[in-house]
Structure 1
Amino acid sequence: MTQFARWGFAVVFTLLAMAAGAPRAVAQTPSPMAEWQYSAGVPLRAMFADKIPDWQIEVGAAGALLPLYPGAGKYRFEPGPDIDVRYKDEAFFSTGEGLGVNLFSGKTYRVGAALGVDIGREADSATRLRGTGDIGMAPVPKLFAEYVLFPVVLRADVRRALGGYNGWIGDVSAYMPVWGTEKFFVFVGPTVTLADDVTNRHEFGISATQHMRSGLPRYDAPGGLQSAGLGSSVTWLVTDHWMLEGGGSAQRLLDGAAHSPLVQERLQYQASFTVGYMF
């Protein structure tokens, strides 16, 4: 099988797997999980690896504990697959980063584009949302850039939903390793998220129609700072093939998002755990 055919097979397989039941934590907007936590350590490989393998494939099972919706006071557990396929330092597909390519890359940087999916929000998923209407599923293209000022990795990304909440959202973050051996390493870092008024209006606003249906007061959520948070990522390479990964984050909603009538708790938490097999 040619490399092109193998890559195509991997893409089709992972698309089907994600559609069948990937954790909603991957696609929730905004997510308590920071963007950098999906790819922690990837930019550092080029600095320390003599040669990046042509193919890196990981499959496994994952679970996430996350809010019922952004701003909720209650949480849910979501199981799903963990899939991460990377071809050299050129292309990737994962349940966290989506389907993407590195347009430019070097020892200390990478700039790329990716396509993910936001699964939206169902109004009957929480009592507080009743009468607010659903937010539909939508494709979300993304541009991102990472730069290494060792030991710190700086990251910025911007995303645009083509439907659903139908707006712009982006993150500025930094993270660094705080503990590491050949088999075990920990990353920690802060993130700030900004969103335009279209995104915040869909996620946190209450229109006149929603006011009539839900009884909640009208609210026009402005754009700007949406949240700030701190996250961590832990990886343990148990054997040459098996690995355990964990992540956690705390995120505080800010400004227009924080004052929404939908918000029950401004401080949001997330935790995830993965058991993966590396080929």
Structure 2
Amino acid sequence: MIEVSMRCMTKLLAGSALSLCAVTAMADDTLSLSESLFALAAPEIQPGPSGTPSPWRFSVGAGVVNLPKFPGASGTKWEVVPAVSVSYDRFFIGANPDAASFLSLGAYLYRDNNWRVGAAITYDVIEPRNESDDSRLHGLGDVKRTAHAELFGVYTYQFVTARASVLTDIAGNDRGTVVTFDVLGKYEPMPGLTLSAGPGLTWASSDYNETYFGVNAEQSARSGLPGFSASSGLNQLRFSVGGIYRIGRHWNVGANAAFAWLRGDATDSPITEKTSQISYGIFCTYLF
């Protein structure tokens, strides 16, 4: 019975990680980067000295991703991102697939065979947007890193995983609040290989949309772009495909491609060059 429960929990956690491999929020900052291209999976539960499952889990890895230079950009850029995590029972620090972040500190509030609900504080690993990223951004100012408070929930039933999250800026950097919802189906054509695909959407607050797509009077004067005010609403629709291959008990490699379409005021912004966005990348992690 204990062995069966351990296997079930391992599959659930691995399914959760896989779901984040195929989820994309907005492909514009570290939070969305982690959601769109996260390819971590939980290690098998290792027995401790007493023969019971150890509450400790560790993973070390990195990825290389290609994503738009900024939301609505026609050009892309490459980024190298770390993926290091430590967890003890319900507490975690570092990269976490359920929290969809490469840098997080949090805990699970509730877990059972189908549900995982948790809260976390997350922080951006890279600068979300710099004027130097593209000539179109000159005069608009940088979008700074910030800390976010997050509440997330993941539900898994057989081969389907659904995930929802609410994230809000708690450091006063005008990043606002975003709400994401994604559904993922997975398929295992052979032992060790799991393929996934599914749709998702993102709602963004007026603060978020104004920061990334709005142009105030001062920015307009500096950049030459016309003024534009962005309100809250549906920001993005998306569809992602991905796969994870487990090499033995400890190594995972993963790949993902996310296709996103900006919606609402993001499509009318003078900053936006292209409303369709593509992100893709590969990851490798060592689990122990």
Normalised-by-shorter TM-score class:
0.7 to 0.9
Secondary structure at 1:31 match in 2: helix
Q: Pick from 160, 165, 181: which aligns with 2:168?
A: 160
Q: Shift of residue 121 of structure 1? A: 1.8
Matched, 1:120 2:128: yes
Q: TM-score, normalised by structure 2?
A: 0.78
- Long gaps (5+) in structure 2: 1-25, 46-51
How many pairs were matched up? Answer: 248
Residues 1:232 and 1:33: Cα distance change in structure 2 (over 3 Å): farther
CA distance in 2, matches of 1:32, 1:230: 15
1:218 corresponds in structure 2 to 227
Q: Could you tell me whether the CA contact under 8 Å between 1:114 and 1:143 is conserved in 2?
A: yes
Alignment TM-score, normalising by the size of structure 1: 0.80
**CA apart distance, 1:246:** 1.4
Match of 1:200, SS? helix
Matched, 1:133 2:134: no
SS at match of 2:199: strand
Give the structure 1 partner of residue 48 of structure 2.
none
Letter paired with 2:78 = F
Partner residue of 1:150? Answer: 158
Q: Provide structure 1 residue ranges, at least 5 long, that are not aligned to the other structure.
A: 1-24
Query: What residue number does 1:208 align with?
Result: 217
What secondary structure sits across from 2:210 in the alignment? helix
The answer to whether the aligner puts 1:111 opposite 2:120 as a matched pair is no
Higher RCO structure, 1 or 2 (CA under 8 Å, sep 6+): 2
The percent identity for this pair of structures is 26
Tell me, yes or no, if the aligned pair for 1:30 and 1:70 is still in contact at 8 Å. no
CA RMSD of aligned residues (A): 2.6
The separation in 1 between residues aligned to 2:260 and 2:225, in whole angstroms, is 24
- In structure 1, how many angstroms separate the alpha carbons of the residues matched to 2:209 and 2:223? 18
- The equivalent residue for 2:5 is none
The alpha carbon displacement at 1:255 in A equals 1.0
CA–CA distance in structure 2, aligned partners of residues 29 and 256 of structure 1: 22
Q: 1:1-279 maps to which residues of 2 (within 5 A)?
A: 28=29, 31=32, 34=35, 38=38, 53-94=54-95, 96-97=100-101, 98-118=104-124, 119-162=127-170, 163-279=172-288
Return closer, same or farther for 1:272/1:67 CA change in 2, 3 Å cut-off: same
